[in-house]
Amino acid sequence: MLQENDADLVQRCRDGDRRAFDRLVVRYQKPVFNAALRMLHNPEDARDVAQTVFLKVFEHLSQFDPNLKFYSWLYRIALNESINYRSHLKPTEAITGREVDRAAGVERQVESEQSSQVIEQALMRIQPEHRAVIVLRHFQQLSYQDMAEILGLPEKTVKSRLYSARQQLRELLLEDGVC
């Protein structure tokens, strides 16, 4: 069976076809959830973000630029939501600022290998903008061209940001005696 392309589905959504939106959800819920999961390192938060991303997409479909790839737009929203989600987490009065440690400690069953757990925990300690390029390149396996479109940056800048991110991550792993 011929698979409908994203542009057709988006157009059908704009025409009010809810089933077309369902197809987009089926197609992209996994990558969106995984991108949020790697950004936030918490499955419940990733679930919340994924839900919010699709609702925002639905609400703003009329603003989607058809010159962009749909998934680039989707990833862009997913990354921004993930970054905003973490920055909007506010502590209760008695909180002690252990948010990152807590997030890293919950529901670890999503990871299967110890080394990837250590890497992902270190990932939470680098800047979100750097984490985003690592997530897109190494966890979502995207090309530099796609990353540039998603991030709205020249490919050269994306590469240089990725190189810095890898270096930072390696240094953190070295500090932890892993790398």
Partner 1 sequence: MTDPHYLTLIHAEIDGELDEHQRAELARHLLADPESRSLRDSLRRMCLAMDGVAAVEPPPQLRSDILQALPPVTATTVGAAARWRPAPVWRYAAMFAAALVGGALLFRAGVGRGPDPTELAGTMAGKAARPGVIVDTVQVDLGQVAGKVSLYRSEAKLGLDIALTAGEPVDVLVGSGGQALRIAGPRAAMTLPGPWIPGQVVDLSFVVHGRQIGTAQLRVPPDR
Q: Using CB under 8 A as the criterion, which residues of the chain lie in contact with partner 1 when the complex forms?
A: 12, 15-19, 21-22, 25-26, 29-31, 33-34, 37, 43-44, 47-48, 50-52, 54-56, 58-59, 85, 88-96, 98-99, 102, 110-113, 115-116, 119-120, 134, 138-139, 141, 144, 159, 162-163, 166-167, 169-170, 173-174, 179
Nearer to partner 1 by Cβ, of 67 and 128: the residue is 128
CA distances from 100 to 74, 123, 125 (A): 26, 11, 8
In angstroms, give the least distance from the CB of 48 to partner 1: 5
Nearer to partner 1 by Cβ, of 5 and 143: the residue is 143
Provide the 3-class DSSP secondary structure of residue 56: helix
Nearer to partner 1 by Cβ, of 4 and 22: the residue is 22
In angstroms, give the least distance from the CB of 144 to partner 1: 8
157 membership: H or E segment, kind and range: helix 155-175
**Which residue type occupies 4?**
E
Is 147 in contact with 137 (CB distance < 8 Å)? yes
For 91, the token pair is 């502590």
Is 34 in contact with 136 (CB distance < 8 Å)? no
Nearer to partner 1 by Cβ, of 48 and 129: the residue is 48
The one-character DSSP state at 2 is P
In angstroms, give the least distance from the CB of 70 to partner 1: 16
